[in-house]
Amino acid sequence: MRNIQVSELDRRAVEDQEVEIVERKGIGHPDSICDGIAEAVSRGLSQLYLDRVGHVLHYNTDETQLVAGRAAPAYGGGEVLDPIYVLVVGRATKEYELETDDGRTRELTLPVERVALESARDYVEEHVPELEVGSDIVIDVDLGEGSGDLQDVFGEDDVQVPMANDTSFGVGHAPLTETERIVLEAERELNGAYAADNPELGQDVKIMGKREGDVIDITVAAAMIDAHIADQAEYVAATERVEAFVTDLAQSHTDREVHVDVNTADDLEEGSIYLTTTGTSAEQGDDGSVGRGNRANGLITPNRPMSMEATSGKNPVNHIGKIYNLLSTDIAEAVTQEVDGIRDLQVRLLSQIGRPIDRPHVADAQVVTEEGVAVSDIEEEATAIIDERLANVTDVTRRVIEGELSTF
């Protein structure tokens, strides 16, 4: 029997707390660029190993760093003066003894650095298209060999459930509050359908939400692309369109009072505005690092417990910093969707190095129930869902490799 605990959460539901703060860094934010590159490289290496060996080998690429460049934005189009520099660093298995049909073995050399570089370049070209790889952004890869003891923990070829690579934990929560949904959806929509019709909006969109009582304030930092803006009047009109769009989106999620502000650091009289050449602040002094931005559910939520682990770039087979953060979020969402009477749920999964990942040291679910509902009323059903999700933990690996689960 797995060690699953379901208990009462000794606090008010976040939706009922007086002050709530929520943040999301958009896909073009320097930290998110690092997360995206690291995860793209992770998926690329996983696929390489699956294609050449038949299973994923030991690697981690969660230390990717970005050094900001220098640019001179100008109405109608500026230029990048010094390119952004990205270093993909980590560990990867480069040599593998492959058993042949006749029972012999042969040494297989794997092109991990080439695949990593191609994956990183493809990610940037798709998600931050204003950045020209090679001139606006330079990407370098330096992957060392994996630690021998951690490769051993990774498991033998025939192990069905991998062993945890670390003694660590993951956390998740559900359901999202109104403020959390607004912040998450606002960035996704701005960088989705909205940007498709408004090319002046860059991918570096950061959303900060604050709810104080029944008043929600949304602050948007939206990088504008200079080639699509002729003058200050067009810039002002562009920020006003973003404000109107986010206001409408927010009001569709709540009956509370909503205020939206865009690019509040602008000084129009001085001509100091958030104008960029490439759509990201990484072009002008803003560095980035994996794990310094959004958590596994896409948000930064100081009202909730959070893991400091970087989810992006970690190996999806046995790295608890990735698997348990994604799994705890999945469990929380499943339980709140399938079990009535829950207002707020947080899930904490703790591993122990060398222990099968489907049997955490503890799976702790804490709930705030609706009025008239006791924890004992929902405990059995919640425990069954948690147990089922843990039993199928390796499904997280597949979904990550196939790109079904976002890590940031």
Q: What is the pLDDT of residues 43-52, one digit of tens each?
A: 999 999 999 9
| Secondary structure of the chain in HEC code, one letter for each residue | CCCEEEEECCCCCHHHCCEEEEEEECCCCHHHHHHHHHHHHHHHHHHHHHHHCCCCCCEECCCCEEECCEEECCCCCCEEEECEEEEEEEEECCEEEEECCCCCEEEEECCHHHHHHHHHHHHHHHHCCCCCECCCEEEEEEEECCCHHHHHHHCCCCCCCCECCCCCEEEEEECCCHHHHHHHHHHHHHHHHHHHHCCCEEEEEEEEEEEECCEEEEEEEEEEEHHHCCCHHHHHHHHHHHHHHHHHHHHHHCCCEEEEEECCCCECCCCECCEECCCCHHHCCCCEECCCCCCCCCCECCCCCCCCCCCCCCCCCCCHHHHHHHHHHHHHHHHHHHCCCEEEEEEEEECCCCCECCCCCEEEEEEEECCCCCHHHHHHHHHHHHHHHHHCCHHHHHHHHCCCCCCC
Which residues, at least 6 apart from 180, have a Cβ–Cβ distance to it below 8 Å?
22, 209, 299, 301
Determine the residue type at 63: E
**What tokens were used for 315?**
């190996």
What does the alpha-carbon distance between residue 399 and residue 408 come to, in Å, rounded to a whole number? 15
Q: What is the pLDDT of residues 219-258, one digit of tens each?
A: 999 999 999 999 999 999 999 999 999 999 999 999 999 9
What does the pLDDT read at residue 106?
A: 81
Going from the N-terminus, what domains does the chain have, and what CATH number goes with each? 4-14+168-177+304-401 (3.30.300.280), 30-150 (3.30.300.10), 178-289 (3.30.300.340)
**What tokens were used for 370?**
């609706």
What does the alpha-carbon distance between residue 290 and residue 78 come to, in Å, rounded to a whole number? 29
- Please give the average per-residue pLDDT across 4-32, as a whole number: 96
Length of the chain, in residues: 408
- Please give the average per-residue pLDDT across 278-301, as a whole number: 96
What does the pLDDT read at residue 1?
A: 63
For residue 83, which of 280, 346, 258 has the smallest C-alpha distance? 280
Determine the residue type at 157: D
**What tokens were used for 301?**
């939520």
The mean of the pLDDT values for the chain is 94
Q: What is the pLDDT of residues 158-206, one digit of tens each?
A: 557 889 989 999 999 999 999 999 999 999 999 999 999 999 999 999 9
What does the alpha-carbon distance between residue 259 and residue 250 come to, in Å, rounded to a whole number? 9
Does 147 score more than 70 pLDDT?
Answer: no
What does the pLDDT read at residue 105?
A: 80
Higher model confidence: residue 148 or residue 390? 390
**Does residue 63 sit in helix, strand or coil?**
coil
**Angle (deg, nearest 10), helices 320-338 and 394-401:** 100
The pTM of the full predicted model, rounded to 2 decimals, is 0.93
